[in-house]
Structures are given as C-alpha cells and as structure tokens.
Structure 1
C-alpha cells in the first residue's frame, strides 16, 4: 500500500481514530499490507476485523496485535495498545480505502486498470494477463480467486506508486456486486468472457446473470475499452449497453482478435493467434483444454490495446503451464496414468468443457474415467443441468463414470438412462469412498478427470490420486 497517515486513512474511511495508550499521532504513517486474516498479518500491517458468517474478526485482534499490526480497523473499540479506526462497517471501510489508494496512484497518470468478469475463465484470464503485463511493467493481480467485495479491494490495496497495471478480477453472485467493485476502481478496459449458469441459483436465472455481468461495461467512460466475447450472444449484446469502444475476441474471423488452425492434444492447444493489427503467430498454449484458448484471446486483446507486441504476448502465453491450482492440473504419470484435477469449481459450462477435453485428448483405445461431483449454486436449474452433463458424458463416449455425493445423483441416473450401461457408472457417498473404489478401478494408461464444485471437496481427491500415481 502507498504510505498514508492515520488521519488520511480515517478521512478516507469515515472512521473515528482512537490513539489511547499508544505512541501514535494522527500524522503517523502506515504503509503496510492490509489483511482480514490475522494469520497473514506482519509488522506494520493493517488488520480489518471483518465479521464473518461463522466467526468474527474481532476475536482475532490479539493475534493480529501480537503479529505486529500497526492499525486495527474495527466496528467496536478493542482492548489493545494499537491505533484503532472505529468504523460502521469494516467491509465498506476496506473498499473506501482501496478506492482512495487507487485514485491517488491513478492521479500520477501511470496506472492502468483492467477489470475481468464472466461466468467462467476469470481466474485463468487474470493469470494470463499478469504473465503478459509483468513483462512490460510492475503488475498487481489477485491471489487465487480474490474477486469479491473483500478480495478485490485487498488486491487494490497492494498498488503502489510504481504499479503500472492493476488486473482486477470481478466476480458476483448477485445483481449490483460488480457495479460496486467498478466504483472502487473503474477499469480502463473491461473484459466480459462469458455468460453462463454459474451461480444461477443466486442470480435467479440466465437473464439476471447477463444483467449482472453487463455491469462491467455499462458504466465505463467513452474513453475506455470493452473487450467482449463475439461468440457468446449474451456478451455480444452488451455492445449496445456501453459508451466504451468495443474490441471483439472469438474463434471466428469477424472478431478482431481470433484463433485459427486449432489442434488440441494432451500437451495443450496449438493455434494461430490473430491480433487486431493484422499480425499473426503460430503458438502452442500449454494450458490444457481448447476452452482456455478464448481466455488467451481475451488477454491478448487487452495487451494489444496497451501496446504490447505480439512477440511478447505469444512468449508470455506460451510460458504459462497451469491456469491455476486445481484447474485442469495434470498429475500422475506412473504406469501411464494421467490425472486431470479440475475440481476447484464447476458450472455447467466448465463441466461440459472439461468432459469434452477428456474425450478430445484421449488416445485411440485409451480408457477415460470421469470422477464427477455436484455443481453447486444452480438453484432450480440443478436437476436438469446435472441430467444434461450425464447425457453429454455418454455421448462423448467416456468409458467410466464415478459420481461422488448424493447431491450429484442425477448425474449417475441420467448416465445410466442414456447409455443403458452395466457398471460403467458408479455412485459413492464421499471422496474417501471414491478413492477406495478408484484404487481398484484405475489401470495402466487410464486418463482420469476429477471435476466438481469447490464445495464437494474433490480437489483433495484429485491430489490424492495424483500423489498415488506420481
């Protein structure tokens, strides 16, 4: 974070500064990192005591103080000999401070901001942008999936006077959440990747999801750029909602940034990248799955807008081996067994893409095993979407299904009904039971996909299988 006095932080957040029992004054300068987790606090940092669903950050104030916190942002005064800023809402205060920091750095004229949203692909695209942009100048991008009302401002607070690029991943589970993040740090470029059924239960349907994702571009100034997916009709419709200049990416030649000559294999995807300038390069993208090519195109479109040359774009994209931990992560190797751990999260779109990748990269005669868990947060759409994925697995010719958890039972039932299988689909109650079953099921040369929503916990099953066959 940039250096600010306690008085400046109090003014930015609207809080009341309490200095009783400390040696600090209102002119004391704070320049440490900001945290909502006391375990991450180091000397000189700011600790936001955020109330949570299951616990309350105020309970961990002693740990934060012991770790060396220089400022506590709290909703009620604490017994601690550390400067305290008492605010009405710590999350609102976190956002307000992030906005202040971003605006101060932006005033220098160097900082550029890209916001990324979409039902799928946000984290991958964010990581690809970081890989490209950090070759040009100091770049800040979120850790993991820091993309909500807490994670996004924590990332924004990492900006310093030297930062040239801020990549802001902006997720949402309801209307208005992206708009809130946009107000904290209005992007110079806003990217919308896809509108799908991820979190549909919270949004209330695909139309509401489209409205929420469109918040990325509706409030952009005319000087900004909206980078939109030409292949998704719901995203393409957003061009009529934004005053910003539109740059299209997609698989077709009608998109300014597009791909051709696509070939998918177990080693990644080879394709020719075409930029809006007319330049093109053949490249090999090692992030597994053809669906990730769209994320690479979006990142390339942003980079080209900011003057990054095609050689740097291609070199950076080719250097990325893994989208993110637990996202199409290739493991195993012993006895020719390959484990693909893609169980960080799952939506109907990402589940379909993962199954299609499993089928695409399998060698002739190679057995494919799909270990699938629940797709959460689908609300009223859950049943039919699980049915659809079960049908898809059969139609793709997946050799064996292992369904984990009764919440995903309709995957198992629809698979049996569609395929009239005899044992090619099995259902177990939990990840431990799945591991026990798979120990006797997986044979030499098998290709295994593990995929579920985060709540199902199958990413740890994927790790166990990857370790067993490493």
Structure 2
C-alpha cells in the first residue's frame, strides 16, 4: 500500500497540472508535448516500437501485447484508448532508453490523421486488426479507411515486420505496399499464425489452439467472445515479431483481463452477471455480441441496447432489425435512447410485452433492469462511452447515482466521473409547471371508461399559450377544429383537456394532454389507466417535419420517426399499435434551426397552407373513426 505522503504528492501534482493546463491552454500545451517528443524519439535506440491500427480491437490487442511483452521485458503503452497525436507523444516520452518496447494504438478517424503520429513513432512493427464501418462517413468507403490504416504498414522499414489479418481482404492486401517482412494471422489455412479449436461458451472464456509452423499451443484466455480471436492472434504475432516463442506469448496472454467496456464481465452480490460492451456502439459490432449471447449458458439472457452508431440505412429499419435479431436470442431485450421506441415495431401480435421494452432515458431503463434482474441472469450492456453511459445501470445497484443526463458527451466511463453523485438530467415526469389554468370542477362522467367502440383522438402539442400557432402545435389545432365541427366542449382536468361526444354513428373522446410535448406519454398512460382505453382505440395527430408543409398522411402503426412526443407515447405504452395522422410542417427554414422553427408561429403565407391541411386532417379523422362497421376496415 502506498504511503500517505506519496498519495498527497500525487494529488498535489495532479492539481497543479490541471491548473497549469488551464492557464496555458490545451492546444498550446499539447503542441509543446509533441515537440519535446520529437526531440526525445531519436534517443530511443534500444526499444522496439510497435503500432496498432484498425477499425476495432486495437485497445484489446494493445493490452494483450503489453501482457505478452511484459513477460520478458519492460516498456510502455498508451493508456486506455487515448490514441490521438498528443497521447502518442506522451507515450513516447514515457519510454526510457533502457526499455525493451513501446506499444501504441493509433487513431484513423479521418483522412491524413495518421501522418504525424507515424512520423513521430517510427514503428518497427505494425499490426492491423480489421477494417469495419467505424468513421466511414469521413472516408466514404471501406477502401478509404484501409488506405489510411495502410499508412502504418507502408511506413515500416525493411528490417521491420507487418502483422496482418489474413481473414480481411483489405488488410492482407496491405502486404503489397510493405517493404517489411509480412506475418499473416487468422483462421485462413494460408495464414502463418492460425487459431483452431476455438470456443467461448459462457461461463467459459475464450480458448483456442495456436498453430505456428509445426508448433501447437493450447491457450485459455480471460476474454469473452470468439470475436476477440483476431486481437489474440495479432498480439501473439507482435510477440513473435520481437523474437519471443509461441509458448512464451501464450503465457503472457493468459493473464490479461478484459479491458473496460469491451465484453467485460462484472458480478453483483445478488448473483447477476453483467457483460459490459459499452465502449463502441457501431452497428457492425452487434453480431459479435449476439454470437456470444447465443451460446452463453444462463438462467435468463437479457440485453440492453443504447444508441446505435454508424447506421447507413434508415434508423427505424435498423432498430427493428436489431430488435428482431436480439429477441431470437435473448429472453428480454431493452432499448434505450432517442430512437428506442423504433424497436417496438418488431413486436408481433400476441407476444409477451415484457420481452421487448423501450425507454428514452437511461434512468428509466436502470430502474426497470434493476427491478427485474435476479440470481443467474446474464445481462449484456451494449452502448457507447460518449452517448449512453449505460454503466450507470450497474452503479445504481450499489451507490447513489444522481446524474442521469442523456446528453452527456464526456468521453469517459461514469465510474471515473466525479459528477455522478451530483443531481443532473431530466426531472421526474410531471405536468408542465408553466400552465396557469387551474382545473375547475369537471363532470364526474368525463373520465368514465371508454366504450368498446369509442374512438380516442389525441392531438399532440405544448400546452403553454406561447406555443399557440406553431408547427409543433398542429396536433392541438386539428382536434380543436374537430371539436368545433362536432359542437363539443372542452373540459379541463389536471392531466388534459377532454371533449367527449359523438361523430355520426360513433362515440369519440378528444384529448389534449396538458404536459410538455416530450412528456405526453406519461399523461396519456395515466388517462388510459383511469378511462380503460387501449392503444388500438387511439388515433394521435401530430406535426411531421419530414413531410412537406401542408401534406397529410395516415399510418396504421410504426415508429416515432424521431418525434419526441410520439416516442414518449410508444414508450409509455410499450407498443406502436397506434393509428396516426401526420400533418407535414416541413419547410426550408427548418433546416437552419429545427427547434426554433417548430416553436415559432407560422407566418401569414404558411398559415394559409396549414389551415387547409388542418381541414384535410379533420376529414381523414372522420373517415378513420366513421361508424363502427366502416372504421374496422381502417
């Protein structure tokens, strides 16, 4: 255990470093660090410098290789996934002339990003893992990503070694641009270093037989999932390139624990096992998680999925596809985030509604997960370090988590954040406090149960007077128009304005929730519980920014399409089985500032267009609700 004086020194040093950086400025200090590293690197003659690049597996490959090399010598590597140029420079500065190695993972997030780090590092050995979809938006194609990553291999001297994944055509093709010796690895029979007899059936960890020339070595790792095989082989290849034997490499690998947030298992005192894969939420990484869960042995399998990144197709389609795949494997599938409700479109009629759930906020997901988990459950958290911060689901089981922000962009895990105990994030769901109208006594029959053939029509909007006449309140205006046409009177309750009556041949109930748009679902669910109506009896009317101004569309069900009010309803009821009428409010000015546009009143020209659309939407509603015998056909 370190002494009190030493720990005091560390705290003082860190405090001074933070203040110095604040005074000097991050950019200026980083430039100085890089310049110093440039002067230091030529003095490091003995250490072997190793660079690692690729779309995935870099950090785990680096940690495994550090475990391998530390078995025989001393050296340094960049901490965590800190792989930008200043971090590469800091790693170089940590290397001593007497060290044996330096291992650095490199970032390839945009064109040209590797030029400066490679010039500084001057690697002797280069390892490439795999080329995937990460950062594809910056490169347009996989070939573009491979071109940037390939700079590592092209930079190697003729005395160096390129360690390449033979199972990835874009990676092994880099051999043509290397002056160094090439060592291939993978499952291909043509690979120089291969893995055979691979298994990772939880609770067993990843194990395999390594094959290198005539040598065969059985290895048992601490990793979870067969998708780590390329990382293991890449690290072994790096060790072999430095002169170690296959057996020596295997010993070093066996003791390396899973890295934070990369299929990292955590056991709770209650007997629940969480698998944290909450560092990278790229769409193309999901199949590896599903493969792991498919063969895992557990009483129940639960998966929690946050925001999905690197989505090429429509988000609604992607979330539905992932939800269908997850339900094939897991007993319970839970989605979290802005697009979570899109997953509800994957639910089939008659399915257990508890098998697929969706929550907009991590706080609500945490409460649900921790209320249903029990001994023997295996829970996989699949999210991202910058968006979801799903680790709070685990932390909340043993400590007070007060920060439940859904928009935190901190690039770190919550267990490292000093702010997790400070209240932050959305308040509990409650009616908008800015409403000054007090609910007067209303007829006791107003909240009577909805009849079997009665239709419930919900107009979405914001209740405050300042939002009247804005695009976001078109839903309110449509039901106001319908109420006026039918001669219905609005009554006010604490949760909503309600007007009950009938259209020709059909009893109807019109509702405008008296809560902020994004909280509509909570208010409507409360009314549903009181008045006993189902989603199938409901039609909601709302604005749609993706439809041209004045366009009116109907849908029998579906995702929220990015509309927060609709998403809150789908989340509250945990189903998408609502009919809907969408009124287009899309306009060129919305592209500049969507939020400002939807909360600003229509100008005179657009007002004329939207007034006609309101009449069209009213006509569509009357068609949909019609007499019972007609309405059943919609």
Whether the TM-score (by the shorter chain) exceeds 0.5 is yes
Does the CA-based 8 Å contact 1:394-1:419 persist in structure 2? Answer: no
Candidates 360, 369, 379, aligned match of 1:438: 369
User: How far has the Cα of 1:39 moved from its partner?
Assistant: 7.9
Query: 1:356 and 1:138 mapped to 2: Cα distance?
Result: 37
Distance 1:243 1:325, change over 3 A: same
Query: 2:275 and 2:350 mapped to 1: Cα distance?
Result: 24
Candidates 297, 319, 322, aligned match of 1:362: 297
Does the CA-based 8 Å contact 2:70-2:252 persist in structure 1? Answer: no
Distance 1:379 1:333, change over 3 A: closer
Distance 1:198 1:389, change over 3 A: farther
SS, match of residue 334 in structure 2? strand
- Work out whether 1:346 is the aligned partner of 2:281: yes
Distance 1:419 1:178, change over 3 A: farther
User: How far has the Cα of 1:407 moved from its partner?
Assistant: 4.0
Distance 1:236 1:40, change over 3 A: farther
- Work out whether 1:424 is the aligned partner of 2:363: no
Query: Which residue of structure 2 aligns with residue 272 of structure 1?
Result: 209
User: How far has the Cα of 1:202 moved from its partner?
Assistant: 3.3
Query: 1:112 and 1:343 mapped to 2: Cα distance?
Result: 32
- Work out whether 1:244 is the aligned partner of 2:184: no
TM-score, length basis structure 2: 0.57
Query: 1:238 and 1:229 mapped to 2: Cα distance?
Result: 10
Query: 2:105 and 2:237 mapped to 1: Cα distance?
Result: 16
Query: 1:256 and 1:351 mapped to 2: Cα distance?
Result: 29
SS, match of residue 281 in structure 2? coil
Query: Which residue of structure 2 aligns with residue 373 of structure 1?
Result: 306
- Work out whether 1:330 is the aligned partner of 2:261: no
Query: 2:106 and 2:79 mapped to 1: Cα distance?
Result: 13
SS, match of residue 273 in structure 1? strand
Candidates 41, 54, 58, aligned match of 1:102: 41
Does the CA-based 8 Å contact 1:201-1:379 persist in structure 2? Answer: no
Distance 1:74 1:142, change over 3 A: closer
> What pairs with 1:45-84 in structure 2 (closer than 5 Å)?
57=21, 59-60=22-23
Query: 1:208 and 1:449 mapped to 2: Cα distance?
Result: 32
Candidates 299, 322, 330, aligned match of 1:398: 330
Query: 2:283 and 2:375 mapped to 1: Cα distance?
Result: 30
Distance 1:429 1:238, change over 3 A: same
SS, match of residue 120 in structure 1? coil
User: How far has the Cα of 1:419 moved from its partner?
Assistant: 11
State the number of aligned residues.
388
Gaps of 5+ in 1: 1-37, 50-56, 62-72, 76-88
Query: 2:49 and 2:320 mapped to 1: Cα distance?
Result: 40
SS, match of residue 339 in structure 1? strand
> What pairs with 1:2-401 in structure 2 (closer than 5 Å)?
41=14, 57=21, 59-60=22-23, 89-106=28-45, 110-265=46-201, 266-275=203-212, 277-322=213-258, 324-363=259-298, 366-376=299-309, 378=310, 380=312, 383=315, 386=319, 388-395=321-328, 397-401=329-333
Query: 1:286 and 1:331 mapped to 2: Cα distance?
Result: 13
Computed over aligned residues only, the root mean square deviation of the Cα atoms, in angstroms, reads 2.9
User: How far has the Cα of 1:260 moved from its partner?
Assistant: 0.6
User: How far has the Cα of 1:345 moved from its partner?
Assistant: 2.2
Per-residue deviation, residues 20-50 of structure 1 (Å, max 9, x unmatched): xxxxxxxxxxxxxxxxxx986489x8x897x
Gaps of 5+ in 2: 1-10, 400-634
SS, match of residue 218 in structure 2? strand
Larger radius of gyration: 2
4+ long deviations beyond 6 Å: 417-421
TM-score, length basis structure 1: 0.75
Does the CA-based 8 Å contact 1:341-1:463 persist in structure 2? Answer: no
Per-residue deviation, residues 44-74 of structure 1 (Å, max 9, x unmatched): x8x897xxxxxxx4x345xxxxxxxxxxx98
User: How far has the Cα of 1:375 moved from its partner?
Assistant: 2.9
